[in-house]
Structure 1
Amino acid sequence: MSISERTPTGGKGLATGTLGLWGSVVIGLASTAPVYSLVATLGFVVLAVGAQAPIAFVLAFIPMLFIALAYRELNNAVPDCGTTFTWGTKAFGPWVGWMGGWGVAVAGMVVLANLAQIAGIYFWSLFGDGSLSENVPLVTATGVAFIAVMTWVSWRGVELGERVQNILLAIQYLVLAVFVVAALWRFFDGSAPDPTPFDIAWFNPFAFTDWSGFTEAVLLALFIYWGWDACLALNEETRDPARIPGRAAVLTTVILLLTYVGVTVAAMMYAGLGDTGSGLGNEANADDVFLALREGLFGPFGWVLVIAVLISAVSSTQTTILPTARGTLAMAAYRALPARFSTVHPRYRTPSFSTLVMGVVASLYYVGMTLISDNILQDSILSLGLAIAFYYAITGYACVWFFRRDLFSSARNLVYRGILPLAGALMLTYAFVQSAIDMYDIDYGYTVLLGIGGTFVVGIGALAVGVVLMILWFLFPGSKPFFRGESLNRDTPVLVPEDPAGYLRSVDGGLA
């Protein structure tokens, strides 16, 4: 009897056949928090490269697209909710795979703290004169409450989460559409504060005059694309696990490119690049470009943009919990974590324990960082790019190595499974190294730790903690099937049950 015949069709117990293509795209888009990502990044990109901001977003899209193609190819062959962890293990073995899974978890935990803080700040800025948004205990408590609510939504089921995200994402894109239309309307009727005619030179990749500014802008832009892979972590819950998630990932990145470039061009035409007033080159506006533009564009309805940012942060909170919880579920299913993490709710078919742990850990991390120092919390957020580049690059390399025997069987395989994923992985490796070098400088970020940049210490330290935890788990007897390559290897079938090791042996008792 073959392995596939012995493997139950129920996978890990998750709710199969729940999401279609649109639902997967919604999860991917919501996870990137498009409105908040623009708020947090657009101003700094303009400060770094000025009029070349649009091409910076385009160039940052290239490695994202290449890695999205790697995700698609790997998912077609191995539609497993462990994504980077599973693929990295199949390609390079348990140690690399475990660290890939840890990279996903670290990125999720750090960004949840950031999203919770943003949600709390923007929520209270809607009341009175906005001074309540400066009340740290109140903002922190509110952020934890948002995490709790979205953890419950994620625990309650993918279908409920999809319905919630449809509404929240529709509001975000409606506000962005109004923003673009209003900005262009003001430009053409001459009422814009600094009307700047569109210039095709904004898309000239050879017009960058400063290399450090170029790398800074592209690294910032990389951050705002991150999150689209959430739809891949729900692959076992889609109606066609082998095809829909990969298509959703590629479609999501393309939609994000059009969104970010469109909003950037409209904002530049409306506000210009000046360093005073509402100009996008004004350092005082960098933290929140929309805040500087909302009165001119929306008048008395400026609060709509505040609500859009709030919704964007809250929406991304839920979609960040989803992939991280499924990643730890997969790790536990393959014995890379304690079995408790593989618990699936009998009714809602969600990774119940992993979901709750993610919500609790993120809340504790957020509160802990806030109590220690808000500056360290901010540095942990700035270091997020290291974890993102780390596990995306692992995925790109895993794609090339996993398919190495088939690369030259066709031109398509060579391009989509070899050249493009490798190019994306190399770009992200450079991004990781360059970011680490920049973060090492004591002038980078908000703190100095151990005599070097606090962002570097926090970012590299977070990945180092993963090495320590991996070694600790290695010492437990329950980890041996994983680290010996028994519970997960290149030949392990996809959509495996909660205890895959029991299905890995053929009739004669030998390992598959």
Structure 2
Amino acid sequence: MDQGRPATGEAPVAAFRKTLSTRHGVVIALANISPTVSVGIGLAFLAALAGTAMPAAFLLAALPILAVSGGYARLAARDPNCGTAYVWVRRALGPWTGYLTGWTSVATNILFLSYAGQLTGQFTLGLLAEAGVRAVSPDDPLAVTLTGLVWSGLIVLSALRGVKGATAVQSLLLGISAVVVTAIVITAFARGDAAPVSASWFSPFAFPDTLTLLGATVMAAYMFWGWESAFSVVEESTSVRSPGRAGIIAILVTTGFFLFSATGFLHALKPEQLADPLSGVTELARTFYGTTGATAALAAMLFATVACMQSSVIAGARLTLAMGRDGVLGTSWTRLHPAWGTPVTSTVRIAVLAVGVSLAGLAVGSLSEVVVAVVNSVGILVSLMYGVGGIACVVTFRHELRGRIRDALVVGLLPLLGGVALLLLGGLVAYQQWTSVDHLAFDAENGRFLTVLPMTVIALGVPAALWTRYRRRAAYFTQPPAPLAPAPAPVPAGS
């Protein structure tokens, strides 16, 4: 479809302003991935599964994601649409698969934002407690939720005022958090003595068995989740190639940071300490630098989480705007702010839905466990979404694979291998979790529960798709996609 025009043929929607460069895309992607938060609170979960093979898990996870990202870069250049995979999968694999891809992405985005809102509340109150302000406990659900709501309001306001300004805030927050965590890891290298650094930590043969390798790789892949947000602002980028470069740069930077941090933690912490979430970056900082270190670490986690939420809101709002243009959602979702040029309705509604989930979790205590369980098991959904995206790239460009070898690799072989690998990983982990227990229980640690939840997210999209197709009669299901932009001419040798 033409950018800025709904597929229904109604009045055109105002177009985005093109103001973003590759640098802005890198910031958006890194903020969404939030590697410092993954190191701070996620490394322990991976360590409990992978042990000393954590660096190998990150390397194995980065390979298929990098392979798929090359295909995404080409898709963004040839079909620059802020709906990203929701649009690209429809072109290649049909509207039903495309719709479920978009549905899953929106659902996981909302669930993550509700979870991250709770994190901002916990980090804020924990930071106040470290500073001696103990009027409210970081363990008080109501106080945590209300504090998270305040942060959510500030994040929405920042996102509405423009992506360029939001990336300036994100750069500051990410920079501070990266400096703090990097300092802690460097100290871990200098003062740690739990184990000497070993090359075996980077070997895929370091895993005790194949199932552990697969599970650790999927969990590591989940920690890369968010790199594709660089593509959500393709319609606001001065060059359609900028998002592709930004996504790949963000993946490479994140991979290096994960390897660096995992190696430092393995060197400084004993296995039982490493696998304990309470012995993460905050307690390590406390060990090295006392209360000041713990306070700095909590501040780093808070800043990185706020930047992550901001990036998630930006990406989610643009996806729902694209759905509004296609008639999948109402046209009100497409409205841009007259002064700031941002998707005001989509941004506010995405945030309101996330807040609603947080409040529901507060009212019905067990629902909070469901949200946390979905976030913890979303690696399956991430693997499936990225896998389908890789396959969509190959199908889209299948008629162009007989040209240059580079094209055959970038949009053919590599996305195919990466996509198939991620689909298999997601499927095998679902099978592993399901067979790990002999009964289904409403428990965030029950393997069958952790398998049913992500599958339920997808299944709920089926009746929504049927209603959208046959009651709303969305153009997304009935009108063919617009032709791809022409392939760029090959650059003459020596030019």
1:457-507: CA deviations, max 9, x gaps?
32111111111111111123551x321124xx152779xxxxxxxxxxxxx
Q: Does 1:181 align with 2:179?
A: no
The one-letter code sitting in structure 2 at the alignment partner of 1:202 is: W
Q: Are the counterparts in 2 of residues 108 and 320 from structure 1 also a CA contact under 8 Å?
A: yes
Paired position in structure 1 for 2:493: none
Paired position in structure 2 for 1:198: 197
Q: Does 1:363 align with 2:355?
A: yes
Give, in whole Å, the separation in 1 of the partners of 2:318 and 2:164: 15
The one-letter code sitting in structure 2 at the alignment partner of 1:171 is: I
Mapping of residues 291-370 of structure 1, within 5 Å? 291-301=282-292, 302-370=294-362
Paired position in structure 1 for 2:249: 251
Give, in whole Å, the separation in 2 of the partners of 1:204 and 1:483: 46
After superposition, the Cα gap between the structure-2 partners of 1:417 and 1:264, relative to the gap in structure 1 and judged at 3 Å, is same
1:301-326: CA deviations, max 9, x gaps?
12100111111111101100111110
Q: Does 1:133 align with 2:156?
A: no
Give, in whole Å, the separation in 2 of the partners of 1:81 and 1:318: 17
TM-score (structure 2 length as normaliser): 0.89
Tell me how far 1:390 sits from its aligned partner.
Answer: 2.4
Paired position in structure 2 for 1:168: 173
The one-letter code sitting in structure 1 at the alignment partner of 2:340 is: Y
Tell me how far 1:14 sits from its aligned partner.
Answer: 4.4
Tell me how far 1:265 sits from its aligned partner.
Answer: 0.9
Tell me how far 1:287 sits from its aligned partner.
Answer: 5.2
1:445-467: CA deviations, max 9, x gaps?
98259x98332232111111111
Root mean square deviation of aligned Cα: 2.4
1:385-442: CA deviations, max 9, x gaps?
2322222122111100000000121211111111110111111111221232244355
Give, in whole Å, the separation in 2 of the partners of 1:125 and 1:270: 24
Q: Does 1:474 align with 2:472?
A: no
Tell me how far 1:182 sits from its aligned partner.
Answer: 1.7
Aligned-pair identity (%) = 26
Secondary structure, counterpart of 1:344 in structure 2: coil
The one-letter code sitting in structure 1 at the alignment partner of 2:271 is: G
Q: Does 1:70 align with 2:65?
A: no
Q: Are the counterparts in 2 of residues 370 and 377 from structure 1 also a CA contact under 8 Å?
A: no
Q: Are the counterparts in 2 of residues 444 and 455 from structure 1 also a CA contact under 8 Å?
A: no
Paired position in structure 2 for 1:80: 81
Secondary structure, counterpart of 1:82 in structure 2: coil
Give, in whole Å, the separation in 2 of the partners of 1:177 and 1:410: 42
The one-letter code sitting in structure 2 at the alignment partner of 1:379 is: A
After superposition, the Cα gap between the structure-2 partners of 1:15 and 1:62, relative to the gap in structure 1 and judged at 3 Å, is same
After superposition, the Cα gap between the structure-2 partners of 1:207 and 1:195, relative to the gap in structure 1 and judged at 3 Å, is closer
Secondary structure, counterpart of 1:235 in structure 2: helix
1:144-202: CA deviations, max 9, x gaps?
2222221221122112211111111111111122112222222xxxxx3x342211111
Paired position in structure 2 for 1:503: none
Q: Does 1:392 align with 2:379?
A: no
Q: Are the counterparts in 1 of residues 52 and 201 from structure 2 also a CA contact under 8 Å?
A: yes
Paired position in structure 1 for 2:147: 142
Structure 2: gaps spanning 5 or more residues: 7-11, 487-495
Secondary structure, counterpart of 1:13 in structure 2: coil
Task: Pick one of 395, 408, 412 that aligns with 1:401.
Answer: 395
1:232-260: CA deviations, max 9, x gaps?
100111111x2100000001000000000
Secondary structure, counterpart of 2:137 in structure 1: helix
TM-score (structure 1 length as normaliser): 0.86
Paired position in structure 2 for 1:122: 123
Give, in whole Å, the separation in 1 of the partners of 2:383 and 2:15: 29
